[in-house]
Chains A and B, each alone.
Chain A
Amino acid sequence: QKEVEQDPGPLSVPEGAIVSLNCTYSNSAFQYFMWYRQYSRKGPELLMYTYSSGNKEDGRFTAQVDKSSKYISLFIRDSQPSDSATYLCAMSTFSGNTGKLIFGQGTTLQVKP
């Protein structure tokens, strides 16, 4: 079983739609949960991070963590064509200073005008 599972898609939605991206994980020691966005021909960039459980909102983006279900989500409201990218979830235990990021496969999102 992979530590982090993410549906690779692709996911295609019309402009203005609400997008839901999800990851499941198996390691209950994960405490930090990140979403990275990767545009074509670019490296990933950090979009949002959440510590432990709960919600975090930043503009049109909302990150949710449900540790009891080992499930995290990223919601994008009023999606725009500029949101078309691959979204990678990442997690870490960050025990001391030796924690490393464990990434999902990434979900490719296309927002059509």
Chain B
Amino acid sequence: ETGVTQTPRHLVMGMTNKKSLKCEQHLGHNAMYWYKQSAKKPLELMFVYSLEERVENNSVPSRFSPECPNSSHLFLHLHTLQPEDSALYLCASSQDLGAYEQYFGPGTRLTVT
């Protein structure tokens, strides 16, 4: 295991639901990331946090709302999603912002019906 855990591993939700994805890192890292992985597309960086402060928001729709209460935990709150939001959502951490080695969790497979 990489030291980054994500829950739930699978999630099916309707377009009117509200749900949250959780990420926890046990590595003592200072930076955390949310990525979206869709089939045949590159990993899309969504949000970046450094020392609990959001430093990047890559033009992500407001139906995705991140939260970083401390340097070990990261959440992604979801509401009124669209079917095209179905994807694998990956959380990652790195020692510091911009480090080339990022440690990824196993991801949450999200299906929006």
**Known: A46-B102, A99-B98, A100-B48. Is A105-B2 also a contact (CB below 8 A)?**
no
- Kindly provide the distance from the CB of B70 to the nearest chain A CB, expressed in whole angstroms: 20
Give the chain B neighbours of A8 by CB distance below 8 A: 40
Q: Tell me if A87 is interfacial: C-beta within 8 Å of chain B.
A: no
Contact A43 B98 (CB under 8 A): no
Contact A101 B97 (CB under 8 A): no
Give the chain B neighbours of A103 by CB distance below 8 A: 42-43
Which applies to chain A's interface (DSSP): helix, strand, loop or mixed? Answer: loop
Contact B48 A43 (CB under 8 A): no
- Kindly provide the distance from the CB of A66 to the nearest chain B CB, expressed in whole angstroms: 19
Q: How far is the CA of A106 from the CA of B38 in the complex (A)?
A: 11
* Contact residue among B45, B96, B105 (Cβ-Cβ distance under 8 Å from A43): B105
Size of the A side of the interface (Cβ < 8 Å), in residues, is 27
Q: Which of A12-20, A56-64, A75-83, A90-98 contacts B (4 or more CB under 8 A)?
A: A90-98
Contact B106 A42 (CB under 8 A): yes
Give the chain B neighbours of A105 by CB distance below 8 A: 40-42
**Known: A100-B45, A100-B56, A103-B43. Is A41-B106 also a contact (CB below 8 A)?**
yes
Q: Tell me if B4 is interfacial: C-beta within 8 Å of chain A.
A: yes
Size of the B side of the interface (Cβ < 8 Å), in residues, is 23
Contact A96 B98 (CB under 8 A): yes
Q: How far is the CA of A104 from the CA of B98 in the complex (A)?
A: 18
Residue of B nearest to A3 (CB): B42
Q: How far is the CA of A41 from the CA of B104 in the complex (A)?
A: 12
| CB under 8 Å from chain A, chain B span 66-113 | 90, 92, 96-98, 100-107
Give the chain B neighbours of A85 by CB distance below 8 A: none
The chain A residues found within 8 Å of chain B, CB to CB, are 2, 4, 6, 8, 32, 34, 41-46, 49, 88, 92, 94, 96-106
The chain B residues found within 8 Å of chain A, CB to CB, are 2, 4, 40-43, 45, 48, 55-56, 90, 92, 96-98, 100-107
**Which 7 A-B pairs give the minimum distances between C-beta atoms?**
A43-B104, A103-B43, A99-B98, A103-B42, A97-B98, A97-B97, A46-B101
